[in-house]
Structure 1
Amino acid sequence: MKKLLLLTSFILLISLLAACTNGETAEEEETEEEKVIAVETAEVKEGNLTLEKKIYGRTEPHRSAPVMLTAPGEIDSLEVTNGDKVEENDLIAVIKTQMGNQNIRAKEDGVILGLKAKEGDLASSEEPLAIIADLDAIRIQAGVTANMLDILAVDDKVTAKVNGKKFEATVTSVDRLPDDTGLYPVAFAIDEEDTDIAPGIVAELIIPEEKVKSALIVPTASLVEEKEETFVYVVQNDHVKKVPVKPIEVQSKNSAIEGKVKAGDKIVVSGQLGLADGQQVEVLKGE
């Protein structure tokens, strides 16, 4: 009887151990199956790596002319105020001089700016009474450092931001001599009429600079550095392949590289932590 009880207990113990072992094995298999890392991807592209530099300038009339007096005198009457539009030969002011009244007329079409005098004031013949400006054509005057002279040339196209709006602008002049500030004056013409841009407004100019031509371009976030080696993870059939690459030019957003990747390859840009060569992945978002 005792032998039978011992045999029965032994069989039950073996069964329990087998069940535990099978449970652990199933759990391990389930864990292995669940070990899929979520990643985001981007596409390798081929082209030029362009860096955008920003400079600032101020808007001003593309063309302006001073309103000058032939002789000093008292302002007897003013026919205009700042912001008035005038046409050539319109009467601007009448000046009393020792030689009699002097009629001051507009020499061209434009808008009156910079008028500070009022009737009864004495006006000098050495300084402009006002400015007649052509506001239909606005330009931006800026100063750049010497190292930017090589990336700016007359007729280059750039993007200008004024009052939150974007305009295309063309480089019209690049001065090779610095001004009193030590900067080199550069003028940009806004390639659009009737922009309603006032003079004196700060403008942002975005200057493209080609750093590398005809290279493989990848998001900088895709580059992984480990033990003095740089590589990317290429996604193939829901698995990743670790591919060494050589950075040529690294920028904050995009970088140029060399390596055994090609344009069109999907590479991981987010979720690299914990990845290994051959790891199964789930692509959450990609181009």
Structure 2
Amino acid sequence: MNPLLFSLILAAAGLTACSPSEPVGTAANAATPQERTTLGPGPNSGNLTKVRIQVLEPTSFSRTITLSGVTDADQDLTFSAETAGRLEQLTVALGQRVKKGQEIARIDYAMQKAQADQAAVSLTLAKRTHERLTTLRGEEMISEQAIDEALARLQSAEAQHEIARVNLERSRLVSPIDGIVARTFADQGEYVAPGMPVLQVVDHSTIVVKAQLPENQIAEVKRGDRATVRIDALGTDFEGKVHVILPAADPLSRTFQVRILVKNPEYRIRVGMAATVHLRVRDFKEVLVAPQDVVLEESAGRVVYLEEGGVARRRVVETALADGQRVLFTSGVAPGDRLIVLGQRGLSDGQQIQVVTD
């Protein structure tokens, strides 16, 4: 046989054997309809936005105003010299507790005491002289002029005695309050002049927290309102009440100083500590509240998103008050609504979502 013809016949036979009705390898790798359903996700699976929800239930809500403040003593007295002289005695030390009525210093006391004693002797003599001359008047043995002169000396002695008594009192510094010596400005033996400060006594068994209240909130706060005062340095909350709101605003900040009284029987709070004040200005019961950041500002107004059967639903709401963390709803939601509190940003009405719990 012709070699060329034999080669052509073999090639044709090979092409016929390698050309079945199905492509090579297709039957072996094909999947059944059931297998095609279970292999891999569908076109939308795994793309659902994950959200967290809060079921709305009626609760109590307190409208609070948060302010920053500084602690101060309820009573803070600086004792100054009322007379010139040497500081003869300083009977208390820095940090020492003093009682009401306790003598804490003496200024030129020895000299003032001597002058007071001398004035007392002169007064006694003037009284006796006037009494003797008045007795002699009835016997017509003394002139009226002598009696008048004796009376004038008596009145002068009384005045000098009173002056000496006052100067003696001024030479003694006596505390009118219970407190602690916070500062001393002069040492024992030092010369002091009238008006020169000697020492400072503070009573911080009651603390005054001074904070600044913006003018747009002043109408909400009144005397007697309850307050929670947080002292960060102590990590502790203390209860207090609004004592006074000063009537004049700070000319630069346009804020009004509010003062809150806090009991401090253990003296844990020191003067000058930073404080955070939470004023409770109004209480509500059986209301719906939620974290403030769940409310979004959109073209339709204030809106929230609810979860209904795996779908996000936009709801226009109205709110009344906020305390910086929570907001109170007045309309648009109802008890039992499943409010989306995480993942709500970027949602659209009707979008499919997935609720997660961890």
TM-score by length of 2: 0.62
Structure 2 unaligned residues grouped into runs of 5+: 1-12, 115-170
SS in 1 for 2:317: strand
1:109 paired to 2:178: yes
Distance 1:264 1:275 in 2: 21
The superposition leaves residues 85-142 of structure 1 with CA deviations (integer Å, 9 ceiling, x where unpaired) of 1123433122126535834333332212232111232223324422332222221223
Give 1:245's aligned residue: 316
Which of 242, 257, 276 pairs up with 1:185?
257
Distance 2:21 2:298 in 1: 54
Identify the range of structure 1 (206-215 vs 268-277) with the bigger mean alpha-carbon deviation: 206-215
Distance 1:185 1:149 in 2: 10
Give 1:284's aligned residue: 357
Give 2:224's aligned residue: 155
Q: Does the CA-based 8 Å contact 2:74-2:207 persist in structure 1? A: yes
The one-letter amino acid paired with 1:83 is G
Give 1:53's aligned residue: 66
Identify the range of structure 1 (183-192 vs 24-33) with the bigger mean alpha-carbon deviation: 24-33
Give 2:203's aligned residue: 134
Distance 1:35 1:128 in 2: 76
1:99 paired to 2:168: no
Shift in CA distance, 128/283, structure 1 to aligned 2, threshold 3 Å:
same
Distance 2:257 2:303 in 1: 44
The one-letter amino acid paired with 2:227 is V
Q: CA deviation at 1:66?
A: 4.1
Q: Does the CA-based 8 Å contact 2:186-2:198 persist in structure 1? A: yes
The superposition leaves residues 145-204 of structure 1 with CA deviations (integer Å, 9 ceiling, x where unpaired) of 432321221111112122242211211111212367664332110144224222222322
The one-letter amino acid paired with 1:74 is R
Count matched residues: 278
Which of 64, 83, 96 pairs up with 1:71?
83
Which of 316, 319, 342 pairs up with 1:270?
342
Distance 2:348 2:251 in 1: 57
The superposition leaves residues 221-261 of structure 1 with CA deviations (integer Å, 9 ceiling, x where unpaired) of 43466664765443356x23414223436866434446653
Q: Does the CA-based 8 Å contact 1:75-1:122 persist in structure 2? A: yes
Distance 1:134 1:203 in 2: 19
Cα RMSD, aligned residues only: 4.0
The one-letter amino acid paired with 1:184 is F
Shift in CA distance, 84/250, structure 1 to aligned 2, threshold 3 Å:
closer
Give 2:7's aligned residue: none
SS in 1 for 2:356: strand
Structure 1 unaligned residues grouped into runs of 5+: none
Query: Higher strand fraction: Structure 1 or Structure 2?
Result: 1
Shift in CA distance, 229/174, structure 1 to aligned 2, threshold 3 Å:
closer
Shift in CA distance, 235/156, structure 1 to aligned 2, threshold 3 Å:
same
Shift in CA distance, 92/156, structure 1 to aligned 2, threshold 3 Å:
same
SS in 1 for 2:357: strand
Shift in CA distance, 274/201, structure 1 to aligned 2, threshold 3 Å:
closer
Query: Higher helix fraction: Structure 1 or Structure 2?
Result: 2
TM-score by length of 1: 0.74
Which of 171, 174, 194 pairs up with 2:242?
171
Distance 1:142 1:229 in 2: 35
Q: Does the CA-based 8 Å contact 1:220-1:250 persist in structure 2? A: no
